[in-house]
Chain A
Amino acid sequence: MKKAISLTLVLCACALVFCSPARLPARGSLVHKRAPAFVRRDLSGNRIRLSAYRGKVVLLNFWATWCAPCRLELPRFAAWQRKYKQQGLQVIAISMDDDAEPVRALVRSFALDFPVVMGDAAIGERYGGVLGLPITFLVARDGTIAARLEGESQSVDMEEKLEQLLAQP
């Protein structure tokens, strides 16, 4: 029986190691630091300045149209934007696509109602290097990065973190 228990524990440990979902956070150097400022035009031509959202909780998502996990997350973010808008959530998506056309098409087909801007190497580097997608930063009301989530995140985990941030004054 002891052998069985030991074997079970070993297998459970292996399961935890090999079956864990997205790492939270993988590269945490920016966490608890001020979110790097940026000013961009969104796809509609509106000027998007990150600092203008001070006082709101910002979900900043790096993605691309051809990234399958990204495409799963975007409708969820759109739903959260509607659900938590009154509590002060602002979703901003930064596309790492090479061209804006496929981005425009996806934004239309997904009916995304939050700002979508085109990214580049400079903004990627300012955010610690966006060398894998998707990557999501949760920015607290005071402008500091509260979390960096790499890979397809577990929606429950991310929503819990969001709610915690939204509950803070």
Chain B
Amino acid sequence: MPFQCGCRSLSFAFVFGFLLIFGPALCSGQFSGSAVSASSALSIPQAQIIQPGDLSRILHSRGSAKPLVLQVGSRVMFEQAHIPGAQYAGPGSQPAGLESLAAKVVSLPKDAFVVLYCGCCPWNRCPNVGPAFNQLRQSGFVNVKVLYIASNFGDDWVNKGYSVEKGN
């Protein structure tokens, strides 16, 4: 009997804890099984995502091939701070931004190493990286990575101490 009681308590604790942790996400549909929009950052395959620390190491390492880093968010935010060497392409959620992105890569070989980033909003709310990534993949680029920015560029890049540049 005591054993049964313990099992029940453990089960209760597990279910209670699970609901506490994942309840809000389940309610908001994040894990509800509903189809992820093709334009959502959540649709980007895990293998195509690069972490801030990994990108920083690549940018600072000698000898390794450097990617073309393109910011696909706001120009105002780019001017305040951006990844050294990055170029501004424009918001991927808008036609003008996608046109600008196409122009940035038009002369590149399809196997060029390209890294896209935005950082305007939390990853699951970013409207820009998904469309930009999809456009490059559909254009035949096979070595495109997207920088994973969990919250925003300020918190996940600048405040983490990774190097930045200002201006155009």
Q: A68 contacts B152, CB within 8 Å?
A: no
Q: A132 contacts B151, CB within 8 Å?
A: yes
Q: Which of A43-51, A116-124, A139-147 contacts B (4 or more CB under 8 A)?
A: A116-124
A5 at the interface (CB under 8 A from B): yes
Q: B158 contacts A12, CB within 8 Å?
A: no
Tell me the bound Cα distance from A119 to B77 in angstroms: 10
A24 at the interface (CB under 8 A from B): no
Q: A11 contacts B121, CB within 8 Å?
A: no
Tell me the bound Cα distance from A74 to B119 in angstroms: 21
Q: A98 contacts B81, CB within 8 Å?
A: no
Interface residues of A in 53-73 (CB under 8 A from B): 64, 66-69
Name the distance in Å between A6's Cβ and chain B's nearest Cβ: 9
A4 at the interface (CB under 8 A from B): yes
Name the distance in Å between B13's Cβ and chain A's nearest Cβ: 4
- In the complex formed, the residue of B with least CB distance to A64 is B74
Name the distance in Å between A89's Cβ and chain B's nearest Cβ: 26
A7 at the interface (CB under 8 A from B): yes
A167 at the interface (CB under 8 A from B): no
Name the distance in Å between B8's Cβ and chain A's nearest Cβ: 9
Q: B20 contacts A15, CB within 8 Å?
A: yes
Number of A residues contacting the other chain (C-beta, 8 Å)? 38
Name the distance in Å between B128's Cβ and chain A's nearest Cβ: 7
User: What would 29 A/B residue contacts be, using CB atoms closer than 8 Å?
Assistant: A3-B9, A4-B6, A7-B17, A8-B16, A8-B17, A12-B17, A12-B20, A14-B17, A15-B17, A19-B24, A66-B127, A67-B125, A67-B127, A69-B122, A96-B74, A97-B74, A97-B76, A99-B96, A121-B76, A121-B166, A129-B80, A129-B81, A129-B158, A130-B154, A131-B119, A131-B155, A131-B158, A132-B153, A132-B154
Extra contacts, 15 of them, besides A15-B21, A124-B80, A132-B153 (Cβ < 8 A), are A4-B9, A11-B16, A12-B17, A27-B154, A27-B159, A96-B74, A98-B75, A102-B94, A119-B76, A121-B79, A124-B76, A131-B80, A131-B154, A131-B158, A132-B154
Interface residues of B (CB under 8 A from A): 5-6, 9-10, 12-14, 16-18, 20-21, 24-25, 74-77, 79-81, 90-91, 93-94, 96, 119-122, 125, 127-128, 151-155, 158-159, 166
